[in-house]
Amino acid sequence: MRISGPRSLDALKTFFKPTDPKADYKTHQLYHGIITDQSGHHVDEVMAVYMAPPRTYTCDPVVEIHCHGSQQVVKSILKLYSNYGLRLAQAGEFTYRAYVNGRLDLSQAEAVADLIHSKSESSHRLALSHVEGLLSKNIFSITDGLRKTQVLLEAWIDFPEEDLPEEDLLNITDQISTYIGKINDITKTYNTGRVLLEGASILLVGRPNVGKSSLLNFLLGEDRAIVTSIPGTTRDLLEEGATIAGVPVCLVDTAGLCRSNDPIEVEGVRRAKRKISLVDLVLFLVDGSQPVEEEDLFAYAACVDAPAFLVTTKLDLDQVADTSFCSWRNYAISVKTGQGLESLKSAIADFLLGEYAVGSESVMITEQRHYDALVSSRNNLESLHLAIKSNAPLECMVFDLREALYHLGQISGETTPDSVLEGIFSKFCIGK
Ligand SMILES: Nc1nc2c(ncn2[C@@H]2O[C@H](COP(=O)(O)OP(=O)(O)OP(=O)(O)O)[C@@H](O)[C@H]2O)c(=O)[nH]1
Ligand SMILES: [Mg+2]
């Protein structure tokens, strides 16, 4: 249990009886003892630590009580403290305090939530790099430079009788181009960052019996979906999380796409089709051991606009399918022999990561909020560029620059409205 605020140590001393009667609560040191209630009854045997500011999570005085984990023990200690006058923390309040007290900036605080929810090694590493300030450092290097330019321009506004020297204007133009480039480099990482953090969705599509469920099971490494030789085995969407070459993914198996009169199959097909427009990648499967049928074309038509690979299945059998109707990258596989499956896996990972590698050390953004702020800021800088070229008044240039800084400030939290802050911290769970 964590207590934060000026009365933390008093609160601890009220109910905690240290085993060593001379315990002097040195900062960051664990003490063994008993929590007792007002009448002196033992509630639990615990370890407790007092942490003096500012070296604490919230920058306020903090106490932690390491009690046994049963609901009843926790409830009893909470009751003692709520009678004493402490209140429960709101969701994310500890991290909010760390932010308000300046220990973390907003992008770092947001990454704490991502760190807590991270499900794969790559999302863990990405979130940790943000908690450690990688994104903040990159943004700061841009804002720092822009502020210097702002000072220069504002200084010239005070000398209306003189024009800004040509050389200074050229310098500023160069700098602005560099910052636009830096911002573009960061915004480009958004898709991959989002995929690494949340996982990409991959849909397996094809006519009945082509081997969708078999491929799903192979990629999952377990017999999750029922596989039979009867067409129409899978009736509903089936979603499972997995990692493909280090990339977290959500694999979705679908009912075979076909024109059917069976109302269950019709509904399965409807669900599969609706999902196609929402996923990051479609694997369109064609049975290589059978001639292409009208139903293959029916399935192809459903995903023709999606980002997709053609996967020809059953490579262990004689290959007769003519897939020339489809120009997508083609991967031939067999789940019976394992042929082609490693190349398919690395092609999927390469496609999802774009130009980035799993575990790359460079900055990568994962939040829509950050992406939007960077794009707005870049638009302001482009408008500043035009203003310089067209000899616009200095005031216009300064306006664009201020706007650009305002948008970048939303990432670190400097200019983030309270309503947005509330939304961000409400996503945390209690106790974080
Ligand atoms: N020889 C061979 N048979 C395969 C291969 N992959 C799948 N099969 C067989 O093809 C049949 C259909 O496989 P499923 O994975 O159920 O196909 P599906 O596309 O999910 O079928 P529906 O759910 O009915 O749409 C089964 O009998 C599998 O054993 C393969 O690589 N080689
Ligand atoms: Mg199936």
Q: Where are the alpha helices (DSSP H) in 134-290?
A: 134-157, 166-187, 190-198, 212-220, 263-276
Report pLDDT for 358: 65
Q: In terms of CATH, what superfamily is 107-189+364-426?
A: tRNA modification GTPase MnmE domain 2 (1.20.120.430)
Could you count the other beta carbons within 10 Å of the beta carbon of residue 25?
A: 17
Q: Where along the chain do its domains lie?
A: 2-88, 107-189+364-426, 199-353
How far apart are the CA of 171 and the centre of ligand 1, in A? 64
Report pLDDT for 220: 93
Residue 191 sits at φ, ψ, to 5 deg, of: -60, -45
Is the shortest distance between the CB of 256 and ligand 1 below 6 Å?
A: yes
User: How far is it, in rounded angstroms, from Cα 327 to Cα 127?
Assistant: 38
How far apart are the CA of 398 and the centre of ligand 2, in A? 61
Is the shortest distance between the CB of 231 and ligand 1 below 6 Å?
A: yes
Report pLDDT for 426: 84
Q: pLDDT in tens for each of the 432 residues of the chain?
A: 999 999 999 999 999 999 999 999 999 999 999 999 999 999 999 999 999 999 999 999 999 999 999 999 999 999 999 999 999 999 899 999 999 999 999 999 999 988 888 878 888 888 999 999 999 999 999 999 999 999 988 888 887 667 777 888 889 999 999 999 999 999 999 988 988 888 899 999 999 999 999 999 999 998 988 898 888 888 888 999 998 988 889 999 998 887 777 787 778 777 888 888 889 999 999 999 999 999 999 899 989 889 999 999 999 999 999 999 999 999 999 999 999 999 999 999 999 988 777 666 789 999 999 999 999 999 999 999 999 989 888 899 999 999 999 999 999 998 888 888 888 888 887 778
Report pLDDT for 6: 95
Angstrom distances, CA of residue 265 to CA of 207, 232, 243, 384: 12, 7, 30, 57
Long-range contacts of 314-320 (CB under 8 A, 24+ apart): 314/211, 314/287, 314/288, 314/289, 315/288, 315/339, 315/340, 317/288, 317/289, 318/289, 319/288, 319/289, 320/288, 320/289, 320/290, 320/291
Is the shortest distance between the CB of 335 and ligand 1 below 6 Å?
A: yes
Q: Which one-letter amino acid corresponds to residue 284? A: F
Q: Which CATH architecture has domain 199-353?
A: 3-Layer(aba) Sandwich (3.40)
Is the shortest distance between the CB of 413 and ligand 1 below 6 Å?
A: no
How far apart are the CA of 209 and the centre of ligand 1, in A? 5
Residue 329 forms beta bridges with which residues? Answer: none
Q: Which one-letter amino acid corresponds to residue 20? A: D
Q: Which CATH architecture has domain 2-88?
A: 2-Layer Sandwich (3.30)
Ion ligand 2 nearby residues (CB, 5 A): 212-213, 233-234
Q: Tell me what percent of the chain is helix, strand and coil, each rounded to the nearest 5.
A: 45, 15, 35
Q: Which atom of ligand 1 is nearest to the CA of 333?
A: 31
Backbone angle region of 314, left / alpha / beta, with phi > 0 → left and psi within -120 to 50 → alpha: left
Report pLDDT for 34: 98
Q: Which one-letter amino acid corresponds to residue 283? A: L
- Closest-approaching ligand to the CA atom of 209: 1
Q: Which atom of ligand 1 is nearest to the CA of 253?
A: 20
Q: How far apart are the first and last CA of the chain?
A: 11
Report pLDDT for 233: 86
Q: Which atom of ligand 1 is nearest to the CA of 313?
A: 31
How far apart are the CA of 227 and the centre of ligand 1, in A? 6
Could you count the other beta carbons within 10 Å of the beta carbon of residue 93?
A: 19
User: How far is it, in rounded angstroms, from Cα 357 to Cα 350?
Assistant: 8
Ligand 1 mutation target, pool 223, 227, 315, most atoms within 8 A of CB = 227
Q: Which one-letter amino acid corresponds to residue 43? A: V
